[in-house]
Chain A
Amino acid sequence: MSKSLFARNPSVLIFLACLALFTLGVTALSEALGTGLISTSFVKTLGKTLCLCLIAIAMDLVWGYTGILSLGHFAFFGLGGYMIGMWLMYERTRDIIVTSMANNDIPPTPQEVTDAIGNQIFGVVGSSDFPVIWAFSHSLTLQLVLVVAVPGLLALVFGWLAFRSRVTGVYLSILTQAMTLALALFLFQNDSGLRGNNGLSGLQNLPGLDAVPQATVSLWFLWASALALGLGYLFAAWVVSGKFGSVLRGIRDDEARVRFLGYSVETYKLFIFTVTAIIAGIAGALYYPQAGIINPAEIAPIASIYLAVWVAIGGRGRLYGAVIGAAFVSLVSTWFTGGQVPSIPLGFYTIDWVDWWLVLLGLSFVLVTLFAPRGIGGLFDYWTNGRPPNRHGQDLGPGAGALQEKEADA
């Protein structure tokens, strides 16, 4: 440990500097500070993008570094959102109820207030009682603990079951996808206690802060997201830089060999799976107050696959690649689906990008997988001259599945 973390990873400092610059720039141009060059809704979009970058880092840790293609991390993201959403919704509804009940001729008892809140929140699913899982929703502290605890515990139990029985590779991917699907289907039920397919809404309003304009609130969330992303990046860089990171990469390249070397592969995998689930939960808890609404459709398996798409396009196995991929693809996606891209008239048919964007994304994803496994991040290698040594076309790794040099160069 002669050199510090930053000295070994100059990209961390560059990234943090870029992130700080970006945050300052957006702050300076936002509506809250008067210039108004960037609209509040776009500040929110940028804030949400930062959260997506954070979960992309988690995905990169678990997939790019450890080789576990998890198709379930958006489930943890959604759970984090639900946990914070419960508090936001409860407190917000309580404020409204207390205000409206203040006009009653007799002041309400605590029981009446609770009943009215329950009626207000669960009226849409034909119920009025608080389910057990809402037991802590009155307390911000406890719900914040749950933001970390619920995704973490779920990942711990699921990962323990899966890794213990040596489910690997494609099987694990399908299993994680099944877990996501099960969770989404469960939440879609009205009696799941989380308002079925209505989800939780009105999350953009912070309780007790009605006087603060949304422009300011959106800036706060942008700062919080940027801070979380910066810390997440630092943490991820720290995890992958030392000996621990080497073991992770070893598991990715040849799991059996690492196991024979005496490392407890399952423990490493379980640790990284749980930690990334927690990061995903935190990212979700920051994302959904900016989005304003969360419903089970957000957790559908397709979302987790898009996450893999972002990381793959950005370049897996490098942290800044994941960030670039998530930011680039989600912003371009917003741009295309927002109808701002001009259509291409072909004479016999007009390509409307709102309809054809997903086709373009799918196909470009195939092309990236086939021809540019290093993604956008790979472009930096030309710049830093960090090209790998010439192995005269041999396999890069020992296994039959390892990349060959000519593929890695592509």
Chain B
Amino acid sequence: MGGYILRRLVSAVPVLIGITVIVFVIMALIPGDPATAILGSYATPENVERLNRHLGLDRPLWQQYFVWVGNLLQGDFGRSFALNRPVLDEILDRFGATLVLAGTAFVLCSVVGIVAGTVSAARQYGFADKAITAAVILGISVPSFFLGMMMILLFAVHLRWLPVSGMYSMFGGGDLADLARHLAMPAIALSLVATGVVARLTRGAMLEVLRQDFIRTARAKGVGEGRVIWAHALRAAMVSVIPVLGIQAGFVLSGAVYIEIVFQWPGVGRMLVDAILRRDILLVQGGVVFIAACYVGFNIVVDVAQAWLDPRIKT
């Protein structure tokens, strides 16, 4: 097992190097530079040149890349042009908020999706199956930012049950209940599509497993149906569900971008969108590398979990 984990860790290195190259090249290629974005209508060639010199952007690209990566390796992500503060401070400030939102959405989509998919499979073509399938298709089809807006209108503006946006109340609040009230709508909106995908997948995997011999054997031995489904079949089905969970984690992270905008959640998704519009190169690069590293790390954990569930994978 230790060897397997080590191999997976080593294989992550070229991925991360590739990401630094790709994000650097993309930021270099997209039209518009930070100086023009900062100066707006006042971007004369002269003003742009003066500002670029101040920002250190007048050096050749390859030099800029190696300076950047060299600094990254020492944990220095550089300074954001637009926010005029260290990139890492900004990322760490924001990442907690994204983690709370994406984490909640991820737990929601995993638990609800697996339970719904299992129930669906256990009652194939029954009422529960049809109801769940209908709900899942609806959930997958509605764009989550639209759903978010509709939830705001209903629950915040009309019913006034929940706050419109933000992470904590402006006055009072700040405790866990306050956070939960603010978290409810964005987490549900964000998890919905992923929940649908996980539910469909679990249903399919379960149906396949339920047809296998060992299930018939278990039933023949007189094992209760609940135990057959939740203990025997689900564990076997999880082998094909777990890698999809890893992918959904990435989906939830990227979906957080627009959900964070709709619900004004102070996370990294919104930070990245603002940074791209302002051509805040170091913040975009730092943010992408940071998120990519988290995603790669999470997928290693998923792979290891899968290997632990299914010993055949290690070889």
A binds B: no
